[in-house]
Amino acid sequence: MRAALRPWSTVPRALCWLLAASLLLQLGWRLAQQQDPARARPLPAPPPAAVARLASLGEPLAMSKAMLLYLQSFEDQPGVSLPWRELDYDRLAGWLDTAQALDPRSRYALVAASEVYAGVADPVRARRMLDFIAASFAADPARRWPAMAQAVLLAKHQLHDLPLALGYARALRRLATGPQVPPWAREMEAFILEDMDQLDSARLVIGGLIQSGQISDPHELAFLAGRLDELASQIAAKKAKAAP
Q: What is the mean pLDDT of each run of 10 residues along the chain (244 residues)?
A: 58 60 61 54 87 89 90 66 76 95 94 90 94 97 94 94 95 91 88 85 75 72 76 74 68
184 within some domain? no
CB contact at 8 A, 62 and 97: no
What distance in Å separates the CA atoms of residue 90 and residue 46, rounded to the nearest whole number? 10
How confident is the model at residue 80, as a pLDDT? 47
- Model pTM above 0.85: no
Residue 79 is assigned to a structural domain of this protein: yes
Let me know if residue 236 belongs to a domain. no
Cα dist from 62 to 3, 10, 120, 126, whole Å: 64, 63, 28, 28
Q: What is the model's pLDDT at position 182?
A: 87
Q: How many domains would you assign to the chain?
A: 1
Does 219 map to a domain? no
Give the range of the structural domain holding residue 157, as residue numbers without chain letter: 46-175
